[in-house]
Copies of this chain bind each other. A is one copy, B any other.
Amino acid sequence: MAAPIDFWFDFSSPYSYLLSEKIDDLAARFGRTVNWHPMLLGVIFKQIGAVPLTEAPVKGEYSKHDFLRSARYLDLPYNPPPVFPVATQHAARAYYALAVDDAAQARRFARRAFRAYFVDRLPIDTLDTVLDLAGAEGADRDALAAATASDAVKNTLRSACTGALALKIFGAPYVIIDGEPFWGADRLPQIERWLARGGF
C-alpha cells in the first residue's frame, strides 16, 4: 500500500476546514490514508513574518468573501465565526493527547472541532469548549484536561510546529504526498491528479 499522505492544518484556518472535509475520502479512493498534523499558524507566521490572510490590506476583505464562496463550491456549510482567527493550542493539544490512545477518536474530535468553529460558531479557543467537543466523542473529560496540561503533550505540539517549519510549511492547509507539497484547499484538483497518476 502506498505511503500515507500528510495533512498539516490549524483549527482556525478556513481553507483547512474545507480540505479536512474532503481529504480522507479523496485519499481513500486511491488506497491512501492521511496523517493529520495540527499546528499553530501563529508560530509559523511569527517565524516567517507573515500575517493572517484576513489582516492583509485589501486582500483580507476578498478572502472573507472567498471563504464563503469556496465553501459553497465544495458543498460545505460555512458560517463565519464571530471572532477570527482564534488561538488553537488547546484544540491542537487535545488532538495529540487523544491520538496517543485512539487515533480514530482524535480524528473524529478534529472534524467536530472544525465544524464547531466554522459551522456552529463556537469558541474553540477555550479549553472548556475543547473538552466538551472531545467529551461528545467519548473522551474522558478530566483525563483529557490533565493530558493537555502535561509537558508531554505540550512538547508534542511544539515538535509539530518545529517540524512544520523544517518542512518549509508557510501556511495551511498544507498537504504532502510522497514529498510533493500542495498548499491550499484550491489545490484539491492537483492533489487528485497527483494521486491518480503518481505525479504529473
Q: Which residues of A contact B (CB under 8 A)?
A: 48-50, 56-59, 61-62, 65-66, 69-70, 72-73, 168-171, 181, 183-184, 186-187, 189-190, 193, 200
Chain B residues contacting A59 (CB-CB under 8 Å) are 48, 50, 170-171, 183
Measured CA separation A137–B186 after assembly (Å): 36
A70 to B168, CA, bound (A): 19
Residues of B within 8 A of A200 (CB): 69, 72-73
Contact across chains for B48 and A57 when beta carbons are under 8 A apart: yes
8 Å CB contact of A184 from B73, B186, B190: B186
Q: A73 touching B171 by the CB < 8 A rule? A: no
A66 partner, pick from B72, B168, B183, beta carbons under 8 A: B183
Q: Contacts of A57 on B, CB cut-off 8 Å? A: 48-50, 170
Most chain B CB atoms below 10 A, which of A72, A186, A189, A193: A186
A180 CB → nearest B CB, Å: 8
Give the complex CA separation of A50 and B51 in angstroms: 12
